[in-house]
Every structure is written in structure tokens, then in C-alpha cells.
Amino acid sequence: MPLFMDVHRKAPEGAKAKDVADAHMADVKTQGKYGVQYLRYWFDEKNGKIFCLVDAPNADAANRVHKEA
């Protein structure tokens, strides 16, 4: 399956590392429904950017996981 890098250029105001970790865990709980595997994420708290490495059949499937989670 293709790998995708999902880039969130602006995290929600006041987001902390725990908030991003919790969101990632919600993605992991939802991913199987869409044939997606969220492999890893990085959070640049200073600049408010989040990067998610995703193994997915297509970008739409990866985005659906985020929306549902």
C-alpha cells in the first residue's frame, strides 16, 4: 500500500502533546474499518504542526479515519 504524510499545518489552539497522542489513539482505534494503518506521528508544538505517516489504499481512506476519529 502507498504511504502518505498527512500534514496539519495548524494544530488546535492550545494543543499539547497529550492531546495529539489522544487523537492518534482515536485514529488507531478507527483505522481498521478503512484498511488504513497510522504508523507514526510527530508534533511540532512550537510551530503547531502535526505530521502523520499513514499506510493507506488512498488519501481519502486516510482522511476518513481522521474525520471519524
**pTM summary value:** 0.87
C-alpha of 31 from chain center? 10
Each residue's pLDDT tens digit, 9-68: 999 999 999 999 999 999 999 999 999 999 999 999 999 999 999 999 999 999 999 999
Q: What is the pLDDT of residue 19?
A: 96
User: The domain containing residue 48 runs over which residues?
Assistant: 3-68
Cell of 51: 505530521
C-alpha of 18 from chain center? 14
Cell of 53: 505517516
The CATH number of the domain holding residue 34 is 3.30.70.3090
Q: What is the pLDDT of residue 50?
A: 97
Cα separation, 34 vs 16, whole angstroms: 27
Q: What is the pLDDT of residue 1?
A: 80
Give the total number of structural domains in the chain: 1
Q: Are 4 and 15 in contact (CB under 8 A)?
A: no
